[in-house]
A and B are shown apart, each in its own frame.
Chain A
Amino acid sequence: MAYLALYRAWRPQRFEQVVGQEKTVAALCNAIKEGRLSHAYLFSGPRGTGKTSIAKIVARSVNCEQQEAGEPCNQCSSCRDINNGNFMDVIEIDAASNRGIDEMRDLREKVRVLPAQGKKKVYIIDEVHMLTTEAFNALLKTLEEPPDSVIFILATTEPHKIPETIRSRCQTYHFRRLTGDEITNRLQQAAVTNSIKLDEEALLLIARRANGGMRDALSTLDQVYSYKGQDISKDDVLDVLGLVDELYLAELVDALLAKDIPGIIASLDLAMSQGKEAQHLVRETAFYLRDLLLYSVMGEKAQLMVVQKAALPQLQRQSREAKRDMILSALRIMMETAEKLRFSEGNRFLLEMAFLELAELFSGQIPAAAKPAASAAPREKKAVPAANPQPGKSKAAAAKGEADPAWNRILAGVKEKRVPTYALLAQGSLLGIKENTMYIGYKKGFNFHKEKMQEKANREILEGVLRDLYQKTIELEFILLEDEQYNDIVVKKAIEFFGQDMVQIKD
């Protein structure tokens, strides 16, 4: 018999073997027992939490000849056939490879056929988020009222990609990440069965790294096992995964805090020459910093990721030395670097530069708050027009040379609504506001812009902006300024409107 990867060998065969997901299991098990199974289910949740496994158990259980208390027997011919993938009425569809509308139409045709071998036809549609919109819509009708003998089970890691209309037709179960204890227990069982000796720290390390996914945990174990054989220590796990020891990280952070640059470079050199990858180093450092932050906030209660026992004293000391906002900034630098490293080749230099930056950060050369601007300047947001300049004063304000800010606000407001209108309006200039009428002047040669602005669509946009700004309706008057001495005319017109004493000429 060929070797089966641990995560395949340890796929649960009965509901009682499923780790975690108690509520889902209980609900499904009871439904099967009492014959109240719905016609469509949606299983969502992170990878390695049991979606496909449970779907398969359900498929076996409803078709099992000697089903007991909702559990499949795994002995009868139906169960065996399903396990071998020879059963005609359990159809596993890989939605990622069959994602088009044609495949769904095909499925719709076949759904009508009664089960040939078992009691129910079970369609397991895995990776369902990859279906195209058309395919989803083609499925809607079938999913709402399938024939009595059909059960659909949709499974996905990305539930947000599933249309609402599909979701509302299914009973949804969300699968949560497994806890560290659940993973450790199962790992221990797997290790014992395969006569692998796994020491406590190695076990914890694998469980923590799995991030709640059983498949990750078991395949890590598999990997270490095939490399190191039956005796597995913490160092073996670190070695195989290309990770670094917590003590190494603690010392690296010590060097950072002390701004010992030759020390930092030497440490990095050492790790690189042992074949650790830059990306891993950055990620591990980020994890360590996270632990540091968490520890400084929560103390002993913190659930740490990389620090176990050995580096705890150092962590305690560092948590007193480093300020929180510095750790936060440092974390941000590490994340940015990790992102850059993903696509970079000259990764050693980037790594060194990132650590130098951290060293400077910790020694207080760069104020922590100002930091992000250095590497990734956040795109500046457009100035939002400040609300509500007071209309009562606007006459005087406009005349006292403050027309410009108001005009700019208006322009900005229009630009946000529709750029072409903004382009038309920007060619004009604000002459002034008098008795709820705004006068806008256009130079000679800009008649086109003026006429366009007078058209209803553009005009309404401007009026809308003005209403928002001044909280009242303002009439618009567009004026074509004939004379080429534009500036003079503007002044003259303005004087005409507002009277001599209100106009101030500014260059």
Chain B
Amino acid sequence: MNYFDEIRGQERAVTLLQNSIKNDNVSHAYVFLGPSGVGKMLTARAFACALLERDDEQAAIYFKDGIHPDLLIIEKPENKTTILKEQISQGMEPWLALKPYRAGKRVVIIRDAHLMRAEAGNALLKTLEEPPLYAVIILLSDEQNLLETIMSRCQPVRFFPLTEPVIEEMLTGRGIEPEIAVRAARLAQGSFGDALGFASGGEIPHAYEIAGEILLALAGGEMISVFDAAEKMEVNPELITGMLETMLRDLVIYKHSGRADSLVLPDNLQLVQALQDQVDPAKLRRALQQLDELRRNYRRHVNALIISTNISYTLWEALQ
């Protein structure tokens, strides 16, 4: 069975990896770069399986159960926020020093490599430069803040945000209604993981309505409306913030271009036309940048209501 078949929308990466196996020029280290939820881990597994399968016919069976002796996956420990140096120097290095057990290669996958701090990253350098000949190290990274010295030792494989049709297709393949799939795909900006999250809750139409209400209320309201808005966002803060961002973006773009076809969500048209006389694009732009920063806090240990209030206030101020 070929695991590569499951991967969607990353033809470039898949071709690159498959070619390297076919032409027998597999590099000793790869770094898979790209946003989260676009198939990096899936591809890494497929690649690992393909590598191991070459010399070990039963690899796939072991692989399916996740117990292949020549595959090591390093992830951040559950109760920590970073990948530790010990995981590299005590977990990976001795493991790589042993010869392959069943297959011809030993494969290490380091998931979320961007979570490595400077110590862990530096500990990796030496192994990464000249690992044993049978070793293949794959780093997966969402953000491009890996050390430069790591990047220059690996072959980068880029993963791209998925296009909307691909996400739609994947979503409908999972039994999600096409109408919702379209919206989720647009909102997710290329990440299937996010799209699935948006779509599976079934909250999209409801959230969209709320976002619209909030924006209108803030645009016309006193400062007190900020608190009402924040409370309304409680339903699904992250999704609603996403919606608000698209609305802001559409407002700015429409204000500049005056063309309906440049909108991200066609549904926004009515709202955008209603508001566009009273907005200052420069202010909105700034608000949009701030929103993007604030939104990240939802994933951290911060009280959601406080972030929502902050977001509402930013919006309110921008709309004055």
Binding site for B on A (CB under 8 A): 2-3, 5, 8, 47-48, 52, 92, 94, 96-99, 126-127, 130, 157, 213, 215-216, 219, 222-223, 225-227, 229, 239-240, 242, 261-262, 265, 272-273, 275, 277, 279, 340, 342-350, 352-353, 356-357, 360, 366, 374-375
Contact = CB atoms under 8 A, between A and B. Distances in A.
B256 interface: yes
Contacts of A353: 249, 252, 285, 288-289
Nearest to A353: B285
Interface stretch (B22-30, B209-217, B266-274): B22-30
Contact of A226 (B23, B85, B149, B246): B23
Contacts, number: 156
A279 B23 CA distance: 32
A99 B119 contact: yes
Given A94-B123, A223-B155, A374-B282, 18 more contacts: A5-B29, A47-B149, A47-B152, A92-B126, A94-B125, A96-B124, A97-B122, A127-B125, A130-B122, A226-B155, A227-B16, A240-B16, A265-B262, A342-B143, A342-B144, A344-B292, A344-B293, A345-B191
B18 to A, nearest CB: 10
B252 A356 contact: yes
A52 B163 CA distance: 43
Interface in B181-196: 189, 191, 194
Contact of A227 (B19, B134, B145, B153): B19
Contact of B88 (A8, A97, A98, A350): A97
Contacts of A99: 119
Pick from A240, A340, A343 the residue with the most CB of B within 10 Å.
A343
Interface of B: 12, 15-16, 19-20, 23-29, 35-36, 85, 88-89, 93, 118-119, 122-127, 129-130, 133-134, 143-145, 148-149, 152-156, 158, 160-161, 163, 189, 191, 194, 242, 245-246, 248-249, 252-253, 256-257, 259, 262, 281-282, 285-286, 288-289, 292-293, 295-296
B19 A226 contact: yes
Q: Which 4 A-B pairs have the closest CB atoms?
A: A96-B122, A94-B126, A275-B160, A3-B25
Nearest to A344: B292
A366 B286 CA distance: 14
Contacts of B289: 340, 350, 353, 375
A492 B262 CA distance: 73
B88 A3 contact: no
Contacts of B158: 242, 277
Nearest to B258: A262
B278 to A, nearest CB: 19
B16 A346 contact: no
Nearest to A348: B189
Contact of A279 (B144, B149, B245): B144
- Determine chain A's interface SS by DSSP, over half rule: helix
A130 B194 CA distance: 38
A439 to B, nearest CB: 46
Nearest to A262: B257
A262 B259 contact: yes
B35 A345 contact: yes
Contacts of B191: 345
A98 B123 CA distance: 8
B129 A52 contact: yes
Contacts of A272: 161
23 contacts: A8-B28, A52-B129, A96-B122, A130-B122, A215-B153, A219-B153, A223-B16, A226-B23, A226-B25, A226-B27, A242-B158, A340-B292, A344-B293, A345-B292, A346-B295, A349-B248, A349-B288, A349-B292, A352-B252, A352-B253, A353-B249, A360-B282, A374-B286
A214 to B, nearest CB: 10
A2 B134 contact: yes
Contact of A356 (B16, B127, B144, B281): B281
B103 to A, nearest CB: 13
